[in-house]
């Protein structure tokens, strides 16, 4: 039985997860301060906090990790106010009234300040030859089951050359993970 779900893909500029859900018939919308890289009338440009009250069945969110990830740890002591604000945003997302939530972020201070993730996944579990430990905090959603384990595992994403758009190259959701989210979470009741 197919069920159609209203999905908010929060903090997504790429459109990858939105399009994966729409391809399966779900009413998915992305939301970001930036334009969507895949132009769409199903992209909301703005602050996602203004749209959390709406009648969504599920939210998958990719909040900015700049002030939260361990990769920036050497600057932690200089950015306590930014960290506080970033953690408050994470809490707003995690504790909003949407019944099913997945929040994605790299390994970082969410684990120590809010709670540990429910799952840590890698792109190589979903058909990509890359390593990038990615934490998932889940509310009323099952853990993702790996779909295609790859034996060749390279840290490609970390070796992208410096540029103004490097953060985008490093943060786009892997299509294999988007596909797994759609096929495994698209029909949960
Ligand atoms: C790490 S990127 C996520 C990229 C995502 N995985 C994708 O494939 O597009 C974080 C994004 O969160 C967005 N963002 C941060 N705070 C936001 C807010 N309050 N409302 C909407 N978007 C926000 C940023 O503009 C940025 O594009």
Rounded to two decimals, the pTM is 0.94
Task: Report CA-CA distances (Å) from 66 to 38, 84, 87, 92, 174.
Answer: 24, 12, 11, 17, 19
CA of 127 to the centre of ligand 1 (A): 24
Percent of the chain with pLDDT over 90: 79
Nearest ligand 1 atom, CA 17: 8
The residue whose CA is least distant from atom 13 of ligand 1 is 11
> Which residue segments constitute the domains of the chain, with CATH numbers given?
6-185 (3.40.50.150)
173 or 79, higher pLDDT: 173
Output the ligand 1 site: residues, CB below 6 A.
11-14, 16, 31-34, 47-49, 62-64, 171-173
CA of 135 to the centre of ligand 1 (A): 16
Please give the Cα distance from 7 to 75 (Å, whole number). Answer: 35
């Amino acid at each position: 039985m197919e069920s159609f779900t209203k999905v908010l893909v929060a903090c997504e500029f790429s459109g990858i997860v939105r399009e994966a859900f729409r391809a399966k018939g779900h009413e998915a919308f992305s939301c970001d301060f930036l334009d969507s890289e895949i132009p769409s009338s199903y992209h909301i440009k703005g602050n996602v906090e203004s749209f959390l009250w709406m009648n969504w069945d599920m939210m998958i969110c990719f909040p900015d990790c700049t002030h939260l990830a361990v990769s920036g740890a050497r600057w932690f002591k200089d950015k306590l106010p930014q960290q506080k604000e970033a953690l408050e945003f994470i809490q707003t997302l995690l504790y909003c009234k949407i019944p099913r939530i997945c929040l994605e972020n790299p390994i970082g201070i969410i684990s120590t300040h809010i709670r540990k993730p429910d799952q840590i996944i890698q792109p190589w579990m979903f058909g990509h030859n890359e390593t990038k430990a990615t934490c998932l905090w889940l509310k009323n959603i099952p853990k993702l089951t790996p779909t295609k384990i790859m034996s060749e595992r390279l840290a490609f994403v970390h070796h992208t050359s410096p540029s103004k758009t490097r953060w985008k190259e490093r943060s786009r959701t892997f299509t294999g993970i988007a596909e797994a989210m759609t096929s495994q979470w698209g029909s949960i009741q």
